[in-house]
Amino acid sequence: MKKIFLYILVTAFAFTKIKAQGCVAIRGTGMSNCMHHADSSDNKGWSLNVNYRYFKSFRHFVGTTEQKQRIAQGSEVINYTNTIDISVTKNINRFWSFALDVPVLSNARSSLYEHGGKSRHSTHSFGLGDIRFTAYRWLIDPAKAVKGNIQAGLGLKLPTGDYKYQDFFYVNDSTSTLGPVDQSIQLGDGGLGFSTELNGYYNFSYRLSAYGNFYYLFNPREQNGTSTARGSAPSAASIRYGSSTMSVPDQLLLRAGASYRLGKLNATAGIRYERLPAHDLIGGSSGFRRPGWILSAEPGLSYQFKKFSAYAAVPVALKRSRIQSVPDIVRTRITGVYAQGDAAFSDYSINVGFTYRF
């Protein structure tokens, strides 16, 4: 029975990709991999997880208020994001395990304002994202944890993703300007970070269980030096208010829900909260970022074979908010006029994947 419930937890946390649904540029480095109990047959084995995530962001928000006129005017920014995360896990013993997560991203961004404001054009990015290595430990002896357990994780995020990725911005029919693409479709954030995790479960019965997940990524580096001017000279206002270069923000994920088992089929239902804070816990917070948060309902299904499991989940946004950034706060203080930028969010994302235990 313990093996069954640990599988449920593994599958539930396989959905926890941290990639916010829109211009709030949270990178895909939040893979959580809760391991099987040591008393199962594969306690010292390897597992492979491949997860694909897709979303389209196009609804603009300032605070929690949607800017519906953007769609009506045809001026909305549209992001298409495709991410494949390949994660390899090694179970050392019943307490310890290690995971390596390698993301590959393909992004497209369609807008008017980045291309002269009169006609819609697109920029793109493709390549390796920020790789993360994480060590996990069960806090209670899994052999004795009949009803529930908590797993702690500590990870290192490497700046392997290109955070200065460039593409051409349309000027006119004969001229384009080469420059860094928008922060929301950059492949990495340029920071050496470290992540902390707490993953837990509790079994109410053979079929019903609860799960929870906490993830926080610390990014001490303040700015990565990438210009926000898209190949042009930065404006005087962006220099004055501190938004001329991209920041390296922290990330937060909270999840909680319930799981119900029907034979080899497992259904999950939960709440998902993703946040890109305006202020980092360690280091400075200046530079350009679009801080905000998303609260989503997160239903999911998974099916277990002998050593292979497949899953799908569709987080659906319930509430979205673009909060004030540090440059917004600086601008408000200098001008005396309240300033708060916008960000585009999606209505939902699609997550599908599989796990194979060797």
Q: Is the pLDDT of residue 17 over 60?
A: no
pLDDT of residue 300: 97
Q: Is the pLDDT of residue 34 over 50?
A: no
For the segment 318-325, the average pLDDT, to the nearest whole number, is: 98
pLDDT (tens digit per residue) in 41-82: 346 799 999 999 999 999 999 999 999 999 999 999 999 999
H-state helical runs in the chain: 2-13, 69-73, 236-241, 326-335
Q: Is 128 exposed, middle or buried (0-12, 13-18, 19+ CB in 10 A)?
A: middle
Give the residue carrying structure tokens 């005396």: 336
State how far Cα 213 lies from the chain centre.
14
Q: Is the pLDDT of residue 33 over 80?
A: no
Q: Do 115 and 170 touch, CB atoms closer than 8 A?
A: yes
pLDDT of residue 146: 84
Q: Do 37 and 7 touch, CB atoms closer than 8 A?
A: no
SS3 content of the chain, % helix, strand, coil (to 5): 10, 50, 35
Length of the chain: 358
- Residue type at 108 in one-letter notation: A
Q: Is the pLDDT of residue 175 over 60?
A: yes
* β-bridge partners, 118: none
Q: Is the pLDDT of residue 173 over 70?
A: yes
Give pairs for 111-117: CB < 8 Å, separation 24+. Answer: 111/77, 111/78, 112/74, 112/75, 113/75, 113/77, 114/169, 114/182, 114/230, 115/169, 115/170, 115/171, 116/170, 116/171, 116/172
Q: Is 350 exposed, middle or buried (0-12, 13-18, 19+ CB in 10 A)?
A: middle
Q: Is the pLDDT of residue 100 over 70?
A: yes
For the segment 297-326, the average pLDDT, to the nearest whole number, is: 96
Range of the domain at 25: 2-357
Please give the model's pTM, rounded to 2 decimal places.
0.91
Q: Is the pLDDT of residue 39 over 70?
A: no
CATH number at residue 286: 2.40.128.130
Q: Provide the phi-psi class of 198: left if phi over 0, else alpha when psi is between -120 and 50, else beta.
A: beta
Q: Do 244 and 229 touch, CB atoms closer than 8 A?
A: yes
Give the containing element (helix H, strand E) for 216.
strand 208-218
* β-bridge partners, 308: 356
Q: Do 338 and 323 touch, CB atoms closer than 8 A?
A: no
Give the residue carrying structure tokens 């389209």: 56
Query: Cβ neighbours of residue 295 under 8 Å, at least 6 residues apart?
Result: 271, 272, 273, 317, 318, 319, 320
- Give the integer Cα–Cα distance in Å for 208 and 312: 19
Q: Is 227 exposed, middle or buried (0-12, 13-18, 19+ CB in 10 A)?
A: middle
Q: In the chain, how many domains are there?
A: 1
- Give the integer Cα–Cα distance in Å for 63 and 67: 10
The rounded percent of the chain whose pLDDT value lies above 70 is: 88
Tell me how many degrees the CA angle 41-312-15 measures, rounded to the nearest 5: 70
Using DSSP's 3-state secondary structure scheme, residue 332 falls into helix
Cα-based torsion angle of the residue sequence 70, 292, 317, 197 in order, rounded to the nearest 10 degrees: 160
